[in-house]
Amino acid sequence: MSTETETDRVRKLICGALPTYEAAAACCAALQSRPSLIVRPRKVPTADLKQIYAVRLVRSSRTDMPIGSEDVLKRLEGAAADVNMYVWEGDQRVFVVITDTSTSQLVACMVGRDRRAMEPTER
């Protein structure tokens, strides 16, 4: 009997996203290329993410904006009070996947080169 892992659930969510969602496609490819990668969630208040991204994404220049950042604030609007955030690195890029706390609904994805622009710091 096989047990589905957290990483398996994240992979299913992002790989099942619309093919036109470029950030999800990049995150899917990154997870598919490293099947042994383990991603762990970090529960984050949605209000904190909205506040952080409202500041950080405005500061970023057009050339270093993470893929998927153009609509992350809009996508967070419909999210519950808390979300799970998965962050990992690979191929000189940082991948961020945000889901609901049960990892059953994809909220947003981003892919960029600067971890500081995408991952909230510990409080």
Q: What is the pLDDT of residues 31-60, one digit of tens each?
A: 999 888 889 999 999 999 999 998 887 776
Q: Tell me the sheet residues that pair with 95.
A: 88, 111
Please give the pLDDT value at position 33. Answer: 92
The model's confidence at residue 118, banded by pLDDT at 50, 70 and 90, is: confident
Whether the per-residue pLDDT at 63 is higher than 80: the answer is no
Cα 57 to chain centroid, rounded: 15
Distance CA 47, CA 121 (A): 14
Domain locations in the chain as residue ranges: 6-118
Mean pLDDT of 7-33: 92
pTM of the model: 0.89
- 94 with 118: CB under 8 angstroms? yes
Beta strands in 25-120 (DSSP E): 42-45, 82-90, 93-99, 106-112
Model confidence pLDDT, tens digit, residues 66-109: 999 999 999 999 999 999 999 999 889 999 999 999 999 999 99
